[in-house]
Structure 1
Amino acid sequence: MKTPIQYRIIETSPYHRKLQRELLESCPAVCQLESLTDLNGFEGMIFSNELFDALPVHVIEKENGELFEVMIGLKNEQLVE
């Protein structure tokens, strides 16, 4: 027996939730949630957009055998390394 596909969208932004509701109102398989804590246990897969963009990272460069962390700053109103 096949189980119908259901999509659960977790969106914290009220503005984006409203846009999603308007765009997806004719899609009964979509359930919108405000928080990960609203998600009950399930069997399935998780797709993520922008998750890796939100993870903190450090950029390291090797120069003349030494490691340096790349930092971004502002100089004369311009972004510089």
Structure 2
Amino acid sequence: MFDWLMWFTRMDNSKPLALALFFGAFCGILIYVFSGKRRSERLESYKYIPLLDDHLRQPDTGSASDHSQTRKVMDNE
């Protein structure tokens, strides 16, 4: 009854099956990422994020300290 399980536990049989499953998952991810035009444009726009200067980003107005203070009050209640 469980002969198929014994067949699968042998490394000679399980390695090619695992390779086929992982290769199929890899191909599925590639198709998902590169299939949509809007998605590909969005991903292409992300490639320059590390090169942006810090002065181009919006500075935080200090709301983090206000948020942490509010969080402390909420936690103590």
Q: TM-score, normalization: structure 1?
A: 0.19
Q: Which has the larger radius of gyration?
A: 2
Q: Which has the higher contact order (CA 8 A, sep 6+)?
A: 1
- Larger helix percent: 2
TM-score by length of 2: 0.20
